[in-house]
Structure 1
């Protein structure tokens, strides 16, 4: 049953269609896997297993009678942040523990409409405002590859569920790296679509840092889910028309010009992350791409400054508003995020932040005018220790103490450059057994190229998808 629990979604669909596998068999395997590993991993905030089995039986009927939809019968875990009408909408916070949603997120709507079975929801940090996953409401979510480490955040539960075999597909969201960081730390695939490609909910649909997107164990599975959730939605004014789908046949990378940056300028990168990123660059060259190492004149201090000014205008005030009324119920990291972002906005002002974002994007825009794509590490360190919130502790990467732990992440650059599609794929294992990841960054709204490159990495540099818990 553990082999079935890690079966790729695209393979499962083929087996469903030939009746070599039943949706009930797959769902049973995933549930049994969850019951075995969840006490140690803690990736699922809510489970609906009995309901899921009933839906799997209906999916089985659809395959018998020739009516299957694109995700028919697949177990899909949705991020707890994405509401489902009639179910708890806590945002990972004790302050909202009793709240119930009255609407369903467009991404979840589309998963269900496509026949996906939402058998579970996945854990997040409080208000999704951290790059690790633990909260006072749900406790600590752990990395299946090494339980001493976090699976990243904020879609950490999604990454951990995929890696541990308790979901076949998962949804995530990304405001500073929240899809890509967990994907990197758990050896999975995560996609930050370009802004507006996938519909979101008000008011964060109006925040160009915010992206809902797919997570999976393979590039093809990630494309499968992306093609279900993509496209305009009547409730989202910025959702782009028409829907643009990732092609089923991606082709090879022969002749593509790919820029390779080991550090995006001056990010600290641990040796094992650096070596694994270099291996991806070499693999793409082996596959026929023209890969050139480039200097990127960015400074992580500028990126952090721009990001926290931006957070101080939209995201931070939301957390601060809850903190004003429920301070005793919030985590130290949520309180610190509210205070840090509010202070950044007050100190510099929103206009200064936008001007800085423009200068940052000019660097990326110039680079992508000369190359088809850019590859770089997803984070400077493979993962953060489980349960540490870095409020009173400083993070050291590559022997250098960082001013703020988020400086270990190379992802916020591409929330600033929000129209660039970014795919995280695994690049290897770190010295302590936790995976590392590489970001594949495309030109504005060029989704197909990043998937084409990701598929090539997967072919030439295959990665293990099953940790030994």
Structure 2
């Protein structure tokens, strides 16, 4: 096995395809060999399509030879077991959908396929993507390649674990409370939550304002490459935004003002996460940016808002799609919590959440963007110490001496789903004592995706991702 090929960036793969020094078949074979060796331990793949993928790789090889290659021609992409792909099973990690085969393709995988990407696998997700740790009754426990005792996060945990393990070149995910950024943080990868509408969806998820599909990668450049393929308007999504391209090259960040809030005014955060964040702030200062610590006075009820909204929106969708008599005994505890909680949330409760969101928005705008800052930085996760089989309905962790539980206590991501117009990148900025990476969120002004990538790209020059720095999980 050529391990270097398994961790090659998508951009470098495309360059080598173009020069003829690497074949899409050679790349795919290396990833498949790696997956066959590691999957029993990591469990990042729900479904694999290796033989069909090999045929696609041969076609991609011919396309590069005859000059008809598309933007992602021959790049293997592992797609989360959530969006529909026509003729393929989609389980969403649930026993209730075991054996279901889709009769249409969602916009994100469709755009990947149209760009020439090879979908060689579907990645594991907690049931209906409703947990911060990736495990399900159907697929079992997915483990973090950096420390198999820990979770790679959720709900796009299989996607991030596959990138970390070197079994895919790019991966897709989705984010309704942090489900792209949580696993990006815990695996040392890059994950982007675009502003609502940037990446098109179909009913019902295009009407879900907290949710956004997107990508994960091992570098900022690869994340730009993927984002520019999957973003843009769609004729069947009324909520999709006009075309928007993130520049591949931007000006250095010298002169930018960046606000740093280590806890968002709500969270307990482990000291090693604080330390990594301060190290990233110093790197930004070395690049010429002005970084200033601020306080946000956000209400502690924000964590309740995200869970209430998930019950109100997602719980309703589950009942619509699965029927009113859902067999609760077949659901995982975390999925059952969402389904059962739906009846306890009224429209008045949802409106109260809207009012709280406006309070949070004013606080963010007044202290950050209206105060002249170009971006906000904060941790992605409060801790790296989350077990692989963590049950958010039951398990309580201690973070900096305080009890912390579930999305509301461990994930500094969900406020930016509540405030859904802000683009947010999670980038790696350190490694915890247990070997699990530490991530930092870069929050840019509303719909200003390019600024988040500008900061991340310049920071990557001084703080490269562990993969770019030559570090890989010790899985031999």
Give TM-score scaled by structure 2 length: 0.95
Deviations 1:237-259 (A, max 9, x none): 10012x10110112210111111
Alignment of 1:187-202 (within 5 A): 187-202=188-203
Question: 173-182 or 199-208, which moves further after superposition?
Answer: 199-208
Residue from 448, 458, 461 that aligns with 1:456: 458
Give TM-score scaled by structure 1 length: 0.97
Aligned counterparts of 1:383 and 1:201: Cα–Cα separation in 2? 36
Equivalent residue pairs, number: 466
1:336 positional shift:
1.8
Aligned counterparts of 1:346 and 1:208: Cα–Cα separation in 2? 18
Aligned counterparts of 1:337 and 1:435: Cα–Cα separation in 2? 29
Partner of 2:289: 289
Residue from 454, 458, 473 that aligns with 1:467: 473
Q: Is contact 2:422–2:448 with CA below 8 Å preserved after alignment?
A: yes
Q: Is contact 1:308–1:340 with CA below 8 Å preserved after alignment?
A: no
Aligned counterparts of 1:341 and 1:278: Cα–Cα separation in 2? 40
Tell me, what secondary structure is at the counterpart of 2:301?
Answer: helix
Partner of 1:443: 445
- Structure 2 residue runs of 5 or longer lacking an equivalent are none
1:320 positional shift:
5.7
Partner of 1:270: 270
Structure 1 residues 102 and 383, CA gap change in structure 2 (3 angstroms): farther
Tell me, what secondary structure is at the counterpart of 1:231?
Answer: coil
1:98 positional shift:
2.0
1:266 positional shift:
2.7
Question: 117-126 or 91-100, which moves further after superposition?
Answer: 91-100
Tell me, what secondary structure is at the counterpart of 1:411?
Answer: coil
Partner of 2:403: 401
Structure 1 residues 124 and 403, CA gap change in structure 2 (3 angstroms): closer
Partner of 1:28: 29
Aligned counterparts of 1:182 and 1:147: Cα–Cα separation in 2? 14
Aligned counterparts of 1:55 and 1:176: Cα–Cα separation in 2? 35
Q: Is contact 1:317–1:342 with CA below 8 Å preserved after alignment?
A: no
Structure 1 residues 403 and 227, CA gap change in structure 2 (3 angstroms): closer
Q: Is contact 2:128–2:335 with CA below 8 Å preserved after alignment?
A: yes
Tell me, what secondary structure is at the counterpart of 2:326?
Answer: helix
1:417 positional shift:
1.0
1:279 positional shift:
0.8
Q: Is contact 2:311–2:338 with CA below 8 Å preserved after alignment?
A: no
Aligned counterparts of 1:120 and 1:54: Cα–Cα separation in 2? 14
Q: Is contact 1:320–1:335 with CA below 8 Å preserved after alignment?
A: no
Deviations 1:97-137 (A, max 9, x none): 02111111100000000000000110000000111100011
- 1:423 maps to 2:421: no
Partner of 2:65: 64
Partner of 1:156: 157
Structure 1 residues 17 and 405, CA gap change in structure 2 (3 angstroms): closer
